[in-house]
Structure 1
């Protein structure tokens, strides 16, 4: 299917429709082929990429009116000296500076029934909550309101009028970290209401319409807002001030909260069937990566337009894996950022991922200056996919480092080990046993001192494979029984047929990235999430974990790798290069 997206980009004049190819992340690879638990994961299709209010208004515009608009735009363009118009918001209602708030009530961002997932900070005055890691999201539930508006602190365009929110007294909590109350730049978002398709909200600022008068007031509605942050160089921040709902509407407790079961019991007493039998908190998955799968939306062979790039935020293996289990998922890291510090050509230099993990936001953001306090959440399992950016830097700038690839890989290995040890001692020092059957799962035989299970993945294209395996091997020998190496060789087809169909490839070459990155396609992301599903099952499954596939302990030992032999071969190769250089360039 193909859809039009009526917002502008720097490459297109304002109001130029873009064609967006829509596909479903679950369409090409069947979950049942690999998964050990039959999953009823929702189909993620995208019939409605735009706010309904804007689509309705577009249908009323006929061809003569379009011609008149373009004629006026051309005249304005010539008079203004060729300056681009601001990018248009997703909703036509936002173009009207006189948005009506009569009959609406304001829900503050600190309301206890708004559930923020990821790393979020509040400003010292309590005016807004900020999230700056790509993929942060928040959930909330409402009933009794046909309208839901999102209030942002992100920079307002000139023709927008800020909503007059109820006055709020200054906070007396001086320890709240963020003191800067300036507006962040517009940010593109995704919104999902209940089980409907995702809505693309490009360049959102100030007041964003999620629903206007078309929600069933008698039903509970669960809404999620996601900030994919797909930009190349800029560090984005989502600044949430709160929500606007109708005066008769009310916020409802989210699933897993202590109040959620009480709400379900009251519903059952009123004759409604409760949708949940308990208030068990959701499982939590934390992923640390320098190569997020959410970049799949940039594959120009299969998709076109900015909207598809934004939709990449729900196409990555990180997002899909969490959704397969109905678990919360947090991604830490930035695309193109090395693990090691002072990485030549790496994003965020001189900082590295080992530094970023312990901060409240990515390098370049205000949140990065604040140490993250790990009381907010504790993951049930961690997955680390690191090494792509380091390898690219080592290969491209080997002479500038004045070190051999072997020496650089040793630096990477030592940094990785130091990071894991710091996570064990500083971030998540305690972990409760889940009582798994140790006779069936050796890696599950852990006690409270073993720590959170951490999977170290071999980078998908095999970069620094020996170093990642050596990290796990050394830590296991030192007594860490909850760290495992995942051999991803054979998971994906690293060869790319540029003449073949895009949907048959696992990788694509992102020619828009500064270093021409190899990235996962939608199909590649699906395969990774399905294969990871088996390994994460016993830690993230909400039901009977005995239904998870039996994976023998040997699967986490990987191939028989002789690290000393590999390092010796690399040493010989480096010596050979030195002698050749000395021979010809003396």
Structure 2
């Protein structure tokens, strides 16, 4: 018996192929955006966006910050940037290193540039507002929306990480901007470091039966929420960890013996997660569990860990530095940061001095030479200070590669800088454009930040040059 294959009409084949093509296209375009994310597209998985601190990244289309102080940063091109939010949220954002702008109760596609920017490369930082450690609203990042043809650019690379572990004081409760005006955020900004506040309002060191959030167990979690997953410690390594715990444990009946044991355990947990970090155990500002904190530090020192230190904080908070009997106000946090920043800086790992790069060839001054420069000391403490320079291209052409120079008059020396590549020879400082922001369009500005040392006097530089042409002082 001869078997024959049934005839298939050509139209049927064509219809089947068309159906298959439609199915493939549907699968392509309805797939979750994170799955097909491309570099520069502004989606949560875009590698140009740097998520600092602890974020729950299990959902590729929606990243969620955990604890206080987490933020995201990126570069971008074009004149506008919008933020995709799932639901109502309060947040802060900064563009090109400018002041943090506060938005309340925003949702959906949030326009961060109601006044369009100059057509140039820009930087963005977004931080969601926290209240007592809980985010004030739905802190779910779903991506950025840019101009047609624009793209994200790599965020400025990390210059080190300092992590702060604590309770509502470390969160910044009762200050004007919560986490952004707390001593941990201030220290990180002063030193030009990534920074993270693993902190919760009302938190204890010890996890208690009456429900106090205990950092002895939750330090390893991505957030303080019950059932939160473990944090992936391969995402970053802290250079310095600062602990400020013990203020709340008294109210939950934690014994001195239990406190000392849990503090020792936390120090060992931190060491296991950050093998090379320096750990600073602060004396709580109210002086609670001080002998037990010291004993815990001594225990790990005696077991062979020399990079754990007890820090005496007596006198750090001025008489007018409290908003109530417990929480520092803005001035109090600034005072704490002024004391703590030099201690953190002294324990940072040594980093190689940047090799001075070749300066861009100066372009004709009649077209590109006009500029203004504004120099400011934003914070100062004995022997150290933080400064910034904002330089603006007031010429008629784009600077595709730039170098800013000035000379200090009093022997000041820069330790760390950001938003540019810094080098210093004698009194002369040269800052060249960062790789992620090479161009300076007409009317565009670049804000450079740095920390440095001073002794005796700290006067501002008298003159600045941009690509060899003098800048007017603004």
TM-score of the two chains, using structure 2 as the length reference: 0.62
Mapped partners of 1:250, 1:282: distance in 2: 24
Mapped partners of 2:202, 2:212: distance in 1: 13
Are the counterparts in 2 of residues 131 and 237 from structure 1 also a CA contact under 8 Å?
A: no
Are the counterparts in 1 of residues 239 and 278 from structure 2 also a CA contact under 8 Å?
A: yes
1:501 equivalent in structure 2: none
1:49 equivalent in structure 2: none
2:92 equivalent in structure 1: 190
Mapped partners of 2:218, 2:148: distance in 1: 42
1:474, CA displacement in angstroms?
1.9
1:359 to 221, 227, 230: 221
1:260 equivalent in structure 2: none
2:269 to 422, 442, 464: 422
Mapped partners of 1:152, 1:239: distance in 2: 6
Runs of at least 5 residues in structure 2 that lack an aligned partner in the other structure: 1-39, 354-381, 385-474
Are the counterparts in 1 of residues 128 and 135 from structure 2 also a CA contact under 8 Å?
A: no
1:373, CA displacement in angstroms?
1.9
1:216 equivalent in structure 2: 118
1:112, CA displacement in angstroms?
0.7
Mapped partners of 2:304, 2:70: distance in 1: 34
2:285 equivalent in structure 1: 460
Larger relative contact order, structure 1 or 2 (CA cutoff 8 Å, min sep 6): 1
Are the counterparts in 2 of residues 132 and 238 from structure 1 also a CA contact under 8 Å?
A: no
1:251 to 132, 147, 152: 152
SS of structure 2 residue aligned to 1:205: strand
Mapped partners of 1:107, 1:197: distance in 2: 23
Mapped partners of 1:481, 1:312: distance in 2: 33
Mapped partners of 1:283, 1:378: distance in 2: 8
2:139 equivalent in structure 1: 238
1:483 equivalent in structure 2: 308
- Spell out, residue by residue over 1:507-540, the C-alpha distance to the aligned partner (whole angstroms, 9 max, x if none): 121xxxxxxx610111110111111111111344
RMSD: 2.6
1:247, CA displacement in angstroms?
1.1
- Spell out, residue by residue over 1:217-257, the C-alpha distance to the aligned partner (whole angstroms, 9 max, x if none): 1x22111001131157778652111001101212111222x
Mapped partners of 1:480, 1:542: distance in 2: 20
Residues 232, 195 of structure 1: CA spacing in aligned structure 2 closer, same or farther, 3 A cutoff? Answer: closer
Residues 314, 351 of structure 1: CA spacing in aligned structure 2 closer, same or farther, 3 A cutoff? Answer: closer
Mapped partners of 2:170, 2:266: distance in 1: 23
2:424 equivalent in structure 1: none
- Runs of 4+ in structure 1 deviating by more than 6 angstroms, as ranges, are 232-235, 541-545
TM-score of the two chains, using structure 1 as the length reference: 0.51
1:386, CA displacement in angstroms?
0.5
2:168 to 291, 296, 299: 291
2:85 equivalent in structure 1: 152
SS of structure 1 residue aligned to 2:327: strand
Mapped partners of 2:213, 2:286: distance in 1: 24
Structure with bigger helix share is 1
1:134 lines up with 2:63 in the alignment: no
Mapped partners of 2:70, 2:216: distance in 1: 20
1:387 to 236, 240, 246: 246
Are the counterparts in 2 of residues 291 and 388 from structure 1 also a CA contact under 8 Å?
A: no
Residues 354, 314 of structure 1: CA spacing in aligned structure 2 closer, same or farther, 3 A cutoff? Answer: same
- Spell out, residue by residue over 1:543-572, the C-alpha distance to the aligned partner (whole angstroms, 9 max, x if none): 789xx979xxxxxxxxxxxxxxxxxxxxxx
Mapped partners of 2:259, 2:383: distance in 1: 33
2:190 to 302, 316, 324: 324
Aligned residues: 317
Mapped partners of 2:349, 2:335: distance in 1: 19
Structure with bigger strand share is 2
1:519 to 327, 333, 339: 327
- Spell out, residue by residue over 1:416-449, the C-alpha distance to the aligned partner (whole angstroms, 9 max, x if none): 1011112223x12x33xxxxxxxxxxxxxxxxxx
1:473 lines up with 2:298 in the alignment: yes
Mapped partners of 2:80, 2:136: distance in 1: 31
2:43 equivalent in structure 1: 108
1:535 equivalent in structure 2: 343
1:370 lines up with 2:208 in the alignment: no
SS of structure 1 residue aligned to 2:221: coil
Residues 363, 409 of structure 1: CA spacing in aligned structure 2 closer, same or farther, 3 A cutoff? Answer: farther
2:104 equivalent in structure 1: 202
1:459, CA displacement in angstroms?
0.2
